[in-house]
Structure 1
Amino acid sequence: MDYKQDKLNYKFSWFDWFCLWYPPGWLILFNRHWQKYHADPDGWNWLEYILFLIPAGFYLALLIRWLRLGCSFPIQQNREFNPNYQQAFRQEILAPIAKYYFRGELNQVENLPETAPLIVAINHAGMSFPWDFLVLAYLLGEKRNWTVQPLAGISLFEHPWMIWWLPPGWSKVLGGVRAELDDFADAVSHRIILLYAPEGIRGPGKGWFSRYQLETFHPSFISLSDRYQIPISPVVCLGSEFLHPWAINIRKVGKIFGLPFLPISFLMPIFALFPSMGVWAMKTRLSYYIQPVCFPENSANTNHTNAYRRAQELKENMQKQIFELIKKYVKN
């Protein structure tokens, strides 16, 4: 399908608004939009969508779909990033979620560069689907008309739960880059706008009680910034800690299920009844504070020790900004 000709072809109906405000329906939003633009014979159908909305109905829907597919997994397809579909998804699905649910806002926009390429480095929290990433990608796209590609955890691409939840290839088609060093380096070499969390999976996995404490920054983004002479735009996000509040990470159990983290909170019994809520998060205001740009150094002077030191200096500066912003909110 020609995405450009069918721009805004997906009309946000009363049923979509219902799904937006009824948490088990978020998975329906994602899949219905995909099916508007892609042939998806293995995807969810209307009977199964309705089952999402009732307690424990997802399990019956999963069984029905599994039987419908001949007791097998959905067919894996080799799909590539499509910026036109990313734009359609951004305008038709992300826009109402970012504006009316997460109320995303960019602050200190004067620090945001005008042109690409760029590595956007953001603190990462929430212990949930990466909404802090998706909303920032939406806001940057709207502000600068950029095509933003986020570096995403491998589990977002290939974990069996994700393959059943979302269409195979969904993350890649939307621009996700696998969080592996070779894929990271290849993406940076193509001089794109890359959205990156230097804390890695440790960020969302740190849990509620360490929500404002940044984890160690991996130095790879500093080395790649120097190698390809690409500036880094640090962004501090507040509000992501409330995406899944009061959650703690049960690491050992998470490893059994092959999950990067396993959040346990008062919401988990509800998630058990409505597994389609896995892409949902609590309503919060996601506020982004753009910090001054960090320019690359001469790549000839870059080594692991130097890159690590500079990565931790950036972490300390962002940590300072987080604490100052929190104090400001407390006073107000």
Structure 2
Amino acid sequence: MSVTVSTSPYRFSWFDWFCLWYPPGWLILFNRHWQHYKTDPDGWKWFEYGLFLLPCGFYIALFIRWLRLGCRAPASNQVEPDPVYQKAFQQEILAPILKHYFRGVLYQTENLFVSGPLIVAMNHAGMCFPWDFMGLGLLLSQVQERFVQPLAHPIFFDHPWLVWWLPRGWAQVLGGVRAERQSFEAALASVCGDRTLEATPEPIVKDVVLLYAPEGWRGLAKGWQQRYQLASFDPSFVRLSLRYRVPIVPVICIGSEYLHPYTFNVRRLAQWLKLPMFPISPLILAFLLFPSLGVWAVRTRLQYFIQPVWRPWEEDANGATGEGESETGRCHGWGSCGKGQRSQRAISYQMAEGLRLRLQAEIDQIRKRLHDLTGT
């Protein structure tokens, strides 16, 4: 079990500032910050951190740590989401990186002022560490005092390779939820109780934000040639929004495609390594020499455009009562259609596809406006 060992703020030393400036040192920052607040007997030691900074030194440090642990993997811990640590990590580590390196900006924040829990659905790209999601989580928490829980791929929880990079339980403590339907629904149920659409129409009061990528890994692994082209949406978030009456706030991120540019995915190699993707780019040599660059990304400007709040159950009601299109009519708005007796799964899929088309059109318009303003 992870135990808090310090409540005093983490203060940067000259070594931390050096790690912030030197990309292979970012992984050191993540681990040192964890070790300041949490017990980590199986974690990295100071002399191993020094090896991170040398070409191929990470492999030597990894071998030393493996021997030090008795030729075993780091022990697993039973951990729970920790809003206090999430806030400390955001303010002390993420904030300087997002402000000075990724230059994150949130636009149209008036669309966020909705009471109760929210599902924030964003296009996810970059083929690298999820800096677009982490940046959005930080900016959302700065606008409103909410606990932000991102849905993350299972590799961030128990992949046999990643447990050597980041502390065991790191994703869970930061509020991460497995990007699986059962875990997604359990996270919503924990803040909504049993007040589903079928049970009662009463509003929900707990202020939690669930960050969700409707494209899943299809969006992240699509490659440079398909940048800013939205992949198909998984309709599960619409189905859960309908069931629990949780509003959806769509967000468009511009700049995430440049976190790891000129990249394509080698699917067969990814399957062999049991990874969701294996990106190949001009930076591959740097990653081989410095594996700690796995939490780093290319400097870019992350711009987030908050779209109007979407309440799918209102459109579903309109369609069911005949206020929408006819059963053979066209979709309109955020994806509402005449639904008749179609299954809930078909309704969710149609509404998710309508949202995808609307967001794709908005992405194209935003990129055109930015091109006209900057000429790039």
Q: Same fold (TM over 0.5)?
A: yes
- The residue that corresponds to 2:205 in the other structure is none
Alignment map for 1:181-192 (pairs within 5 Å):
181-191=181-191, 192=208
Q: Deviations over 1:50-89 (max 9, x none)?
A: 0000000000000000000001111111111111111111
Is residue 35 of structure 2 the alignment partner of residue 31 of structure 1?
A: no
- The residue that corresponds to 1:128 in the other structure is 128
Which of these residues, 183, 199, 210, is aligned with residue 226 of structure 2? 210
- The residue that corresponds to 1:143 in the other structure is 143
Q: Secondary structure in 1 aligned to 2:161?
A: helix
How much does 1:2 deviate? 6.2
Q: Deviations over 1:116-172 (max 9, x none)?
A: 300000000000000000000000001102110000001111111210000001001
> Which of the pair has more CA radius of gyration?
2
Farther off after superposition, 41-50 or 301-310: 301-310
Q: Is the contact made by 1:94 and 1:138 (CA closer than 8 Å) also made in structure 2?
A: yes
1:187 & 1:193 partners in 2: Cα distance?
10
- The residue that corresponds to 1:68 in the other structure is 68
Q: Deviations over 1:23-49 (max 9, x none)?
A: 100100000000001111110001100
Aligned AA (1:287):
Q
How much does 1:6 deviate? 2.6
Q: Secondary structure in 1 aligned to 2:124?
A: coil
Tell me the matched-pair count.
330
1:120 & 1:307 partners in 2: Cα distance?
17
- The residue that corresponds to 1:195 in the other structure is 211
- The residue that corresponds to 2:155 in the other structure is 155
TM-aligned CA distance change 1:2 to 1:277, over 3 Å: closer
Which of these residues, 243, 259, 269, is aligned with residue 259 of structure 2? 243
* Identity rate, percent: 56
Q: Secondary structure in 1 aligned to 2:312?
A: coil
Q: Is the contact made by 1:230 and 1:295 (CA closer than 8 Å) also made in structure 2?
A: yes
Alignment map for 1:4-83 (pairs within 5 Å):
6=7, 9-83=9-83
TM-score, normalisation: structure 1: 0.96
2:274 & 2:309 partners in 1: Cα distance?
37
1:235 & 1:154 partners in 2: Cα distance?
23
Farther off after superposition, 61-70 or 105-114: 105-114
1:81 & 1:222 partners in 2: Cα distance?
25
Is residue 367 of structure 2 the alignment partner of residue 326 of structure 1?
A: yes
How much does 1:328 deviate? 1.0
- The residue that corresponds to 1:305 in the other structure is 346
- The residue that corresponds to 1:288 in the other structure is 304
2:14 & 2:254 partners in 1: Cα distance?
31
Which one has more relative contact order, counting CA pairs under 8 Å at least 6 apart?
1
Q: Is the contact made by 1:126 and 1:242 (CA closer than 8 Å) also made in structure 2?
A: yes
- The residue that corresponds to 1:258 in the other structure is 274
How much does 1:331 deviate? 1.2
Q: Is the contact made by 1:106 and 1:288 (CA closer than 8 Å) also made in structure 2?
A: yes
- The residue that corresponds to 2:91 in the other structure is 91
1:37 & 1:2 partners in 2: Cα distance?
5
Q: Which runs of 4+ in 1 moved over 4 A?
A: 298-302
Alignment map for 1:110-125 (pairs within 5 Å):
110-125=110-125
1:282 & 1:221 partners in 2: Cα distance?
30
Q: Is the contact made by 1:114 and 1:144 (CA closer than 8 Å) also made in structure 2?
A: no
2:4 & 2:33 partners in 1: Cα distance?
15
1:212 & 1:218 partners in 2: Cα distance?
17
Q: Deviations over 1:195-236 (max 9, x none)?
A: 000000111101111111000001000010010001000000
Q: Secondary structure in 2 aligned to 1:215?
A: coil
Q: Is the contact made by 1:107 and 1:287 (CA closer than 8 Å) also made in structure 2?
A: yes
Aligned AA (1:165):
W
1:6 & 1:147 partners in 2: Cα distance?
19
Q: Is the contact made by 1:157 and 1:171 (CA closer than 8 Å) also made in structure 2?
A: yes
- The residue that corresponds to 2:329 in the other structure is none
TM-aligned CA distance change 1:56 to 1:2, over 3 Å: closer
2:275 & 2:164 partners in 1: Cα distance?
15
Say what the alpha-carbon RMSD is for the aligned residues: 1.5
TM-score, normalisation: structure 2: 0.85
Is residue 165 of structure 2 the alignment partner of residue 165 of structure 1?
A: yes
Q: Secondary structure in 2 aligned to 1:6?
A: coil
1:169 & 1:110 partners in 2: Cα distance?
34
2:188 & 2:21 partners in 1: Cα distance?
37
2:219 & 2:362 partners in 1: Cα distance?
17
2:29 & 2:22 partners in 1: Cα distance?
11
Aligned AA (2:143):
K
2:104 & 2:37 partners in 1: Cα distance?
27
2:14 & 2:187 partners in 1: Cα distance?
39
Task: Structure 2 unaligned segments of length 5 or more: list them.
Answer: 192-207, 321-342
Q: Secondary structure in 1 aligned to 2:73?
A: coil
